[in-house]
Chains A and B, each alone.
Chain A
Amino acid sequence: MDSRYEVVIGLEVHVQLTTKSKIFCGCSTAFGQTPNSQTCPVCLGLPGALPVLNRQVVEDAVKTGLATNCRIAPRSIFARKNYFYPDLPKGYQISQFELPICEHGWLEIETEEHGQKKVGITRIHMEEDAGKLLHSDGNSSSVDLNRACTPLLEVVSEPDMRSADEAIAYLKQLHPIVVYLGVCDGNLEEGSFRCDANVSVRPWGQQELGTRAEVKNLNSFRFIKQAIEYEVERQIEVIDDGGKVVQETRLFDADSGVTRSMRGKEEAHVYRYFPDPDLVPLVVSDAWVERVRGTLPELPAAKQQRYQGELGLAAYDAGVISAERPVAEYFEALVALHNHPKTCANWVMGELLRALNENGIGIADCPVTPKLLAEVLQRIEDNTISGKIAKTVFGEIWQTGKTADQVIAEKGLKQVTDTGAIEGIVAEVIAANPGQVAEYQAGKEKLMGFFVGQVMKASKGKANPGMVNQLLKKKLSE
């Protein structure tokens, strides 16, 4: 980054809600259906059709507002944003302009330079999505209105971020929150969580903001970072060449990694907002807000703190486990059954996530339930099996769905803790390797590992490793 300029970034995030039906009509919001199969007079904008607000959208907006420290407006209204485009059936988008449902919120991010930092949230408002305009090669484009009228929350931040990394840090706070709340599936590729970045630069010390460009079409965290960094470079170059940054909308092209000026949306700033006379004011009572507050889950930041504080996990581990709600829930269920948080965390982050990754499935579909896994950990704890054998047991449970005890019994994996039996094997190993014994006794103590390995091998892994160590040391020093 150029040290002469300060970068200023504000983000507008469109969060697609997970409601079953659209925001103003009863059509399904399911993704990937035949074009225009999920439409009705309302979302097609047919003459005479009228919108009616989906109550769940309000619930989701209030939840999101509370989770991002917003003030919930006791009274908010819907407005029409007027512009012509084929994916916008009515010729206006129903959105909120004056009096949005949430205002004055913030999220806290961790920055390299400044440590903890608050990023302000200007507002969160409800609106309907547009349909899809599919460009083909010929002289025409195709319009699919299945997505039209799908509920969105637009989360608008203050221009509080000073680098692409801070922008990403903010998004990485916001994203898990909406997923945790269950209001959004968080899928960036399918466009469920879309980000536009307002980027400007100004010389250090200058009070007023530089002219900003709005960068759109950012559908992964990596692209967002790339796009912002490109845009900053571009603007600095424009200024250095004696030019002026133009206020405009630019599209990020992921293939080439550059942003390009977006033409065609002429007069886009003349939206002629006015209150939608087909809808009535939305009044959210204190009781409603409090009821919603009561349903809020513990959010990732709070969870991470608790895992570190109460459960004694390392910061990194607490972060990884709390990042995704299903993982955190699995972990918490596991700890409830087996009160050794660190062991539980190691297993969840190690064996469990590895197996899930390898098999390409989500934790919700994991064949090894917290209960099944807790039993495995119990058997390590009570010395029935070693940690190593436990992995074998885990693999077997994954395949068969049997319990740890069943697997241990069927496969004869019970750890050998009988001193006599282990002594016998130790004696055999010592007898079979006189050369190594001599070297060991001459001072090459790292050969201990070799002997342990031999004993474990002879016992098919079932010998208690601690006892093996102990007995070997004793016998070899005799």
Chain B
Amino acid sequence: MKISREEVEHVARLARLALEPTELDELTGQLDAILGYVDKLNELDTQGVEPTAHAVPMENAFREDQVQASIGIERALQNAPSTADSCYQVPKVIE
């Protein structure tokens, strides 16, 4: 086993996904198969190999420090599920 059900549950908590027990079972099996497959990367010796973050080498992209118009409160809030007083509303954190 590459990954246990407990680990899958832990990852689901990290990813903020509420999963049903059946989903957890199914995912455990699928992730285990995928992780088993990707294990083949360990066949390769990558010692001394630099990681590639971008396929095309790039560096230093800047913008100048100039203020640009904002999109406005209305547009900022237009898709929000809940708003009040120009703010997004969210449920309180319950410990």
Contact = CB atoms under 8 A, between A and B. Distances in A.
Direct A–B touching, Cβ under 8 Å = yes
Q: From DSSP, what is the main secondary structure of chain A's interface residues?
A: loop
B77 A36 contact: yes
A57 B62 CA distance: 10
Nearest to A133: B90
Contacts of A21: 63, 65-68
A267 B82 CA distance: 27
A35 B66 CA distance: 21
A86 interface: yes
Interface stretch (A4-12, A274-282, A359-367, A405-413): A274-282
A54 B77 CA distance: 26
Kindly state the interface size class of chain B when it binds its partner.
Answer: 35 or more
B86 A34 contact: yes
B60 A140 contact: no
B71 interface: yes
B65 A36 contact: no
Contacts of B91: 139-141
A77 B68 CA distance: 25
A38 interface: yes
Contact of A282 (B60, B67, B70, B73): B60
Nearest to A38: B70
A37 B60 contact: no
B60 A28 contact: no
Interface stretch (B30-38, B42-50, B51-59): B51-59
A298 B26 CA distance: 65
Interface of B: 13-14, 16, 53-54, 58-73, 76-77, 82, 84-93, 95
- 10 smallest CB-CB distances across A and B, nearest first, come from A26-B68, A142-B87, A56-B65, A55-B62, A143-B88, A35-B86, A280-B58, A86-B90, A52-B63, A140-B89
Interface of A: 19-21, 25-28, 34-41, 44, 52-58, 75, 77, 84, 86, 133-135, 139-145, 263-264, 267, 270, 272, 275, 277, 279-283
17 contacts: A27-B70, A28-B70, A35-B73, A35-B86, A37-B86, A39-B70, A41-B71, A52-B61, A54-B63, A55-B63, A84-B16, A133-B90, A263-B95, A264-B95, A270-B14, A275-B53, A280-B58
